[in-house]
Amino acid sequence: MKISKLASGLALLAISGVAFAGNGTGIASTKHNLGAGASALGNKANNTNGTTEICVFCHTPHGGNQAAAAPLWNRKFSTAGYTRYSSLGTTTFDAAEAPIGSVSVACLSCHDGTQAMDAMINSPGSNSPGISRGSSTGDNGWTETNVMSNLAASDNGNSGDMIYLGTDLRNDHPVSMQYGGGGFSSSNVNGPSIDPAYAIAGATGTVGNNSSLGGTGRVANRTLGNNLLVWYVDTNGVSGQQKDDFTLFSRTDGPGANAGLNQPYVECATCHDPHSTNPTFLRLSGGNTGSQVCLTCHTK
Ligand code: HEC
Ligand code: HEC
Ligand code: HEC
Ligand code: HEC
């Protein structure tokens, strides 16, 4: 299962790895540039001039972490336990949750504030024991305590700030849970969703409130070269999966309806693309203008 999840990541890597110019127009011009040159970006707490290899903070070409489906992942996952959204106890939450996993643990390996942002498996260079921390441009500098939870307020990183999610996820949009309250699976590929309050009720279902984007708002699916079935929410009406469609992450490790079958899950990278230059790394070019991200899934 881990292998198929990794394969899923790698397949995405192969077919859609086109968006990185590396010249300041891609991820280099975003807050996810933690390397040299980033200080001009207003991202002053979280970068070092010790390396210009900006991918290395998240990816390694060899020896990546296979414990979850994050491609060539260059960080260990936090050993902290997460308090999941369901423990809030709302009486309307009707999706089954898998363990916090898939790409979400990869995001949380920085955003839960338990690990330093330069804590990587494979540092740049030849058998290098670690990057030079260089001279820091931040108030906190590059130390092992340079975690999101203790960044200074002036660095847009104090604990009240939204970039620091912590390990208690009850106050965050749920992740690692079934899309639409369940209903889609490898044995029921086109759904519909069990929860009717979704824009999408199967491949032939209702067009949701987000139709102003030009998308059908429906769940589409495709089979990758390795035969893994994957789903996504169409936001643009263009056939096939594009970067602004919302990826649903295929998992087999969840409980609830259709347990054990491959099903689509909502994870951090469903709504966010960590390389995007869109506002707050969202998949839609206008960010969440007009709540368009929300309305892509919820009929409200
Ligand atoms: C802040 C962390 C982070 C940085 C920095 C980063 N990535 Fe990623 N990357 C991710 C995550 C998380 C995923 C998985 C996203 C998904 O599954 O949708 C990913 C996926 C990918 C993929 C496969 C999916 C796709 O979108 O094509 C490629 C290729 C990739 N990254 C290349 C790069 C390159 C090249 C760089 C440096 C220029 C880079 N990444 C920098 C976090 C990062
Ligand atoms: C290597 C560490 C690291 C990883 C992994 C990482 N981030 Fe970040 N992220 C950061 C830093 C550092 C910032 C900028 C903090 C600041 O200076 O405001 C940031 C900022 C953000 C922001 C705020 C952008 C803004 O304009 O305010 C979002 C949203 C975000 N990350 C989402 C994600 C998601 C989603 C993932 C996984 C797909 C992810 N991050 C993975 C380090 C990371
Ligand atoms: C259902 C969609 C969705 C999911 C899932 C999701 N986010 Fe977000 N996230 C958003 C939206 C929308 C915003 C608001 C952006 C704005 O106001 O411009 C946001 C904001 C953020 C911000 C704050 C940006 C800022 O500076 O205020 C961070 C950091 C972030 N998300 C990280 C994550 C991480 C990490 C995960 C997974 C644990 C995650 N998100 C899961 C939709 C989502
Ligand atoms: C990719 C699809 C998707 C997007 C985009 C999305 N959601 Fe959700 N949302 C879900 C799913 C799936 C659930 C859990 C199933 C359920 O209980 O309905 C959920 C649950 C919720 C819940 C209810 C939790 C409960 O306790 O009943 C709220 C409120 C919510 N989302 C608000 C938002 C807001 C606000 C946005 C935009 C910032 C947003 N969602 C974007 C899919 C999405």
Q: Residue 281: which of 30, 28, 1 has the closest Cα?
A: 30
* Most confident of the following: 49-58, 81-90, 113-122, 191-200: 81-90
**Residue 156: CB within 6 Å of ligand 2?**
yes
Rounded Cα distance between 198 and 297, Å, is 6
CA–centroid distance, residue 32 to ligand 2 (Å): 6
Rounded Cα distance between 215 and 192, Å, is 18
CA–centroid distance, residue 286 to ligand 1 (Å): 21
262 or 233: which carries more pLDDT confidence? 262
Within 10 angstroms of residue 18's Cβ, the number of other Cβ atoms is 7
pLDDT at 140 over 60: no
pLDDT at 85: 97
pLDDT at 158 over 80: no
pLDDT at 294 over 80: yes
Average pLDDT (265-273) is: 97
Strand order in the sheet with 263-266: 177-178, 263-266, 246-251, 229-233, 219-223
CA–centroid distance, residue 275 to ligand 1 (Å): 6
pLDDT at 68 over 60: yes
The full 3-state SS of 241-272, as one line of letters, equals CCCCCEEEEEECCCCCCCCCCCEEEECHHHHE
Instruction: Tell me the pLDDT band of 152, cut-offs 50, 70 and 90.
Output: low
**Eight-state DSSP code of residue 92:** S
What average pLDDT does the structure give for the chain? 78
Contact assessment for residue 45 and residue 151, using Cβ atoms and an 8 Å cutoff: yes
* Most confident of the following: 20-24, 39-43, 145-149, 230-234: 230-234
Instruction: Tell me the pLDDT band of 46, cut-offs 50, 70 and 90.
Output: low
pLDDT at 214: 53
Report the first-to-last Cα separation within the chain, whole angstroms.
36
What is the C-alpha radius of gyration for the chain, rounded to an integer number of angstroms? 19
Among all bound ligands, the one having the nearest atom to the CA of 267 is 3
Among all bound ligands, the one having the nearest atom to the CA of 31 is 2
Q: Which residues contact 160 (CB under 8 A, 6 or more apart)?
A: none
**Residue 59: CB within 6 Å of ligand 1?**
yes
CA–centroid distance, residue 128 to ligand 3 (Å): 34
Residues 83-122: tens digit of each pLDDT:
999 999 999 998 999 999 999 999 999 999 888 877 888 8
Q: Report the residue count for the chain.
A: 300
CA–centroid distance, residue 80 to ligand 2 (Å): 19
Rounded Cα distance between 214 and 234, Å, is 9
pLDDT at 146: 67
pLDDT at 5: 37
Q: Residue 69: which of 186, 217, 222, 226 has the closest Cα?
A: 226
Distances (CA, A) of 83 to 47, 99, 112, 180, 221: 29, 10, 11, 21, 31
Instruction: Tell me the pLDDT band of 6, cut-offs 50, 70 and 90.
Output: very low
Contact assessment for residue 265 and residue 248, using Cβ atoms and an 8 Å cutoff: yes
Strands 229-233 and 219-223: antiparallel
Instruction: Tell me the pLDDT band of 300, cut-offs 50, 70 and 90.
Output: confident
Phi then psi dihedrals of residue 4, to 5 deg: -65, -30
Domain map (residue ranges) of the chain: 31-175
Task: Identify which of 272, 292, 293, 297 to mutate to test ligand 3's pocket (most ligand atoms within 8 A of the CB).
Answer: 272
Residues near ligand 4 (Cβ within 6 A): 90, 92-95, 173-174, 177, 179-181, 195, 233, 246, 266, 270-271, 288, 293-294, 296-298
pLDDT at 40 over 60: no
Average pLDDT (8-25) is: 37
In ligand 3, the atom with minimum distance to the C-alpha of 267 is 5
**Residue 107: CB within 6 Å of ligand 2?**
yes
User: Out of 45-49, 80-84, 181-185, 242-246, which region has the weakest mean confidence (pLDDT)?
Assistant: 45-49
195 or 202: which carries more pLDDT confidence? 195
